Chains A and B, each alone.
Chain A
Amino acid sequence: MGELSRHRVLGLSDQQVMDMYRFMVLARMVDERMWLLNRSGKTHFVISCQGQEGAQAGAGLALQPGLDFIFPYYRDLCLMLMLGHTAKTELLSAFGRAEEPNSGGRQMPGHYGDRKLRIFTGSSPVGTQIPHAVGAALAAKMRHESYVSFVSFGEGTSNQGDFHEAANFAGVRKLPVVFFCENNQYAISIPARKELACENVADRAVGYGFEGIAVDGTDPLAVYEAVKHAVDKARAGEGPTLVEAKAYRLVPHSSDDDDRTYRSREEVEAAKQRDSLIRMKNYLTETELWDNEKEESLRKDLLAEINEATTYAEQAANPDPASLSRYVYAEAGDQ
């Protein structure tokens, strides 16, 4: 089989790679639905994962949901779906409904969190989650626990002080943390060449005394391999790793951005040809795990799931206005 059995060489079953692809397609279709709802005036905001599904799917498969502490950022829709969220939870979030698990409608879509899944609550100022991940990793080391901390962020965020402060401390104390940079080439309108003087974000790791790995973020199996290596190393007490997955943001920064003002359509079209969804579908087809019939059936099933989730979310209850002033501080019985 040679090249065609890459996933088996990595220790992944046929079912695992097909599931991985399923999550990538689900993420793309949920994301597209969110844009549709926004453009039709039904929701206020979208921040997208499109172009980063493959990177997130590879990373997600290397983690242990419910054991590892996860500190995601606002583009991690595919990762969240792999860790246990669903089309329904994220569409509820798009509508800001009371029962959405990230924040009960308090935060914009894409601001993930879920305590039962050990997914810490995130915010909008970029990079603040990186020291949090290092803090959870410190707690693991202090108590000799087996979880690792996983934190994701964009290449733009790798310029923030919080990234450097946290990476430095993690390196000093050899903490069990995986820094996962999803390099989508843009910080809103600023291209990577105007943000970074080094060739790879991964090159920054050496300054903090640990390994940095740059991988093709449109190749989910390559990302899996790199993140699995980093997770195994962290779990074995051998310290942090910075994995950079090079991808491309296929859509504007958010529903309030217009990327035609700063990048050419030709550039975007070229990136679409390198889409991780196409690559993964081709891989599955070449390994004879997949065909057009399966593709059609998958998309039909996912569409039904998303339609049902959309209807549910649209009709779901809003937060009670009287709840506005709750949970500023602990209430009686809270921890």
Chain B
Amino acid sequence: MAVKQYIDAIHDALYEEMQRDERVFVLGEDVGVRGGVFRATVGLYETFGEYRALDFPLTESAIVGVAIGAAAAGMIPVAEIQFADFILPAVNQIISEAAKIRYRSNNEWSSPIVIRAPYGGGIHGGLYHSQSVEALFTHVPGLKVVTPSTPYDAKGMLKASIRDPDPVLFFEHKKLYRLLKEEVPDEDYVVPLGKATIRMDGEDITVISYGYALHLVLEAAQLLSQEGISSHVLDLRTLRPLDNEAILTAAKKTGKVLIVHEDNKVHGIGAEVSALIAEQALFDLDAPIARLAGPEVPAMPFSSVLEREYQLSVDKVAQAMRSLAQF
């Protein structure tokens, strides 16, 4: 057991899966010699050679399309999209192709690929290095969408994604890369996809979140505990498929639900989670379902002032939690 950052956990999962199975390889922009712009693939080129740590031209659609074709021929590709903002040229390959290959071939062919992409803001990345794009994909049957929030989960869920027989979009909040450290086992383990987890047990309000926002929620919950408010915090971890049972159980526990995410609110993850609770647990609720999310503007601006205005904060989250507790 060693104390690791999130980025190291990602690196270790890649390294160990490539050691374990020679079909596994990474491809993307700057993933080879440079070891990735965030250093997630550092050393893979030296250990596994130029084809298994494959530097790719600036062609996101081909990165995903080539991954799909290599998978058809028996490989297990892990494609890196350098920033989630740049995944859009590959959407045709992801939604028209990867998501539908098993279905349209009546289960003859499949697309066991992983697409890793750093997402989220707060790093002065401006409009095009800050976006949360997960909701664009969670609407699509055939895809799995995961957003681990801790180093332990990042490693275990990346391994689970690589071993999964279907296409997985693996979104890594870039602000988490070096923000926190925790004990990560050296031995092999997986964290199953599709399972949410309780991050804090409480009685008064239920807060459902994922990614970087989850850590704001946990900090706010500590503050609120000093005010006598006890929070029950659920980390979704996987956004498609949602862990319906865990969501409903968590909602029923306190009867007051707040959903928090950095992505903007309209048609977002919170909309689906709240609809699920409204459909199946309405009579267990003691307050209207609340959502706290990013604003309805196209993306996060560069100016520090505007970026801060856009972003969630411990204060904003604490205020939303307090309001719900007082309802």
| A positions within 8 Å CB-CB of B | 69, 71, 102-104, 106-107, 111, 113-115, 120-121, 123, 125, 128, 130-142, 149, 161-162, 165-166, 168-169, 172, 326-331, 334-335
Contact = CB atoms under 8 A, between A and B. Distances in A.
Given A121-B108, A169-B57, 10 more contacts: A128-B93, A132-B66, A136-B70, A138-B51, A139-B70, A142-B51, A161-B61, A165-B62, A166-B66, A169-B62
User: What are the nearest 4 A-B pairs in CB distance?
Assistant: A135-B69, A131-B65, A104-B106, A132-B69
A103 B105 CA distance: 4
A139 B166 contact: no
11 contacts: A106-B104, A115-B108, A128-B65, A134-B69, A135-B73, A138-B69, A139-B70, A142-B52, A166-B66, A168-B62, A335-B110
B81 to A, nearest CB: 14
Nearest to A171: B57
Contacts of A111: 104
B288 interface: no
Interface of B: 25, 51-52, 54, 56-57, 59, 61-62, 64-75, 77, 89, 92-93, 96-97, 100-110, 112, 141-142, 144, 165-166
A252 B62 CA distance: 31
Contact of A136 (B25, B51, B69): B69
B56 A169 contact: yes
A327 B107 contact: yes
A103 B70 contact: no
A132 B67 CA distance: 7
B166 A329 contact: yes
Contacts of B66: 131-132, 134-135, 138, 166, 169
A113 B106 CA distance: 10
A316 to B, nearest CB: 15
B96 A123 contact: yes
Nearest to A105: B106
Give the most central of A125, A136, A141: most B CB within 10 Å.
Answer: A136
A325 B71 CA distance: 24
B51 A107 contact: no
Contacts of B93: 128, 131, 162
Nearest to A162: B61
A327 B107 CA distance: 6
Nearest to B27: A138
A137 B93 CA distance: 18
Contact of B69 (A133, A328, A331): A133
Given A121-B105, A138-B66, A327-B106, A131 B100 contact: no
